[in-house]
């Protein structure tokens, strides 16, 4: 009997050690994310997890391939593009604290009606969290980590910095990242010089930029652009 009790105590001890080890690892990982986010209040990221993944994918076919991305500060990005992006991607950007629950509910209902995924409910902050740190894997674990990073981003960075990061880091074409590279690629102008129509077009292709990079024009895209042009006039940005 004594030997059985000693074994039980031994197993409990190992179990507690395993739990403590997992908790320590979890907090170390979260601390690593948080440290980067704090640094990005002042320092511009050189790359993101998504950019690194895209570069690896491109170089698998073309070893000398490279990404096009040039950082521009917030004042040097067209007000039209800021308004267009917020209108298209996250109309409640200034009001929410990372999650647009009404938007998520509306997207779910729309997807259920269509029988397929046609709308997403992710905010700009959620998209930024995913692009900065995470892989394209779809799992509950990854979504949970995305939510935690989103809370860190909203807690550490102000809305202006969040939008500045987003506009400089998202994919906008085949190997093109950020507003400056995309504006020069598509229209031959700087991000500061984009017109309302050009800004609406750039915001319109964000959900599938590589598809539209080849010059494709669809009825769905045109309708989306018209809707963005209408909505962007009413949008407030940081």
Same domain, 83 and 133: yes
How many beta carbons lie within 10 A of that of residue 208, not counting itself? Answer: 13
Full-model pTM: 0.88
pLDDT at res. 167: 98
Mean pLDDT of 45-66: 92
Enclosing domain of residue 116: 40-234
Same domain, 143 and 216: yes
Q: What is the pLDDT of residues 90-124, one digit of tens each?
A: 999 999 988 887 766 665 556 555 554 444 579 99
pLDDT at res. 21: 87
Is residue 190 scored above 90 in pLDDT?
yes
The tokens describing 152, both together, are 């860190």
Distances (CA, A) of 131 to 1, 16, 40, 78, 124: 56, 35, 14, 22, 10
Select the more confidently predicted residue: 125 or 111. Answer: 125
Same domain, 27 and 53: no
Same domain, 30 and 80: no
Same domain, 44 and 23: no
Same domain, 60 and 22: no
CATH code of 134's domain? 1.10.3810.10
The answer to whether 224 and 110 have CB atoms below 8 angstroms apart is: no
Minimal CA–CA distance to 146: which of 133, 163, 159, 165? Answer: 133
Average pLDDT value for the chain: 88
Q: What percent of the chain has pLDDT over 90?
A: 68
* Domains: count for the chain: 2
Same domain, 73 and 114: yes
């Amino acid at each position: 009997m004594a030997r059985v009790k000693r074994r039980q105590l031994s197993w409990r001890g190992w179990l507690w050690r395993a739990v403590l080890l997992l908790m320590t690892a979890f907090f170390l990982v979260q601390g690593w994310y948080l440290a980067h986010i704090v640094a990005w209040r002042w320092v511009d990221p050189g790359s993101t997890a998504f950019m690194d993944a895209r570069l690896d994918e491109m170089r698998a076919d073309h070893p000398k391939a490279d990404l096009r991305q040039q950082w521009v500060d917030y004042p040097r990005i067209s007000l039209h593009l800021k308004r267009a992006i917020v209108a298209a991607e996250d109309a409640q950007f200034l009001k929410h604290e990372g999650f647009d629950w009404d938007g998520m509910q509306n997207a779910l209902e729309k997807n259920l009606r269509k029988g397929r995924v046609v709308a997403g409910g992710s905010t700009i902050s959620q998209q930024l969290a995913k692009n900065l740190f995470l892989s394209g894997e779809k799992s509950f674990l990854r979504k949970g980590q995305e939510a935690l990073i989103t809370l860190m981003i909203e807690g550490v960075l102000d809305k202006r910095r969040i939008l500045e990061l987003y506009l400089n880091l998202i994919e906008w074409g085949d190997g093109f990242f950020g507003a400056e590279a995309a504006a020069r690629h598509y229209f031959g102008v700087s991000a500061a010089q984009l017109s309302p129509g050009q800004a609406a077009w750039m915001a319109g292709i964000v959900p599938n930029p590589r598809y539209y990079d080849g010059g494709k024009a669809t009825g769905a895209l045109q309708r989306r652009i018209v809707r963005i042009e209408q909505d962007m006039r009413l949008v407030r940005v940081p």
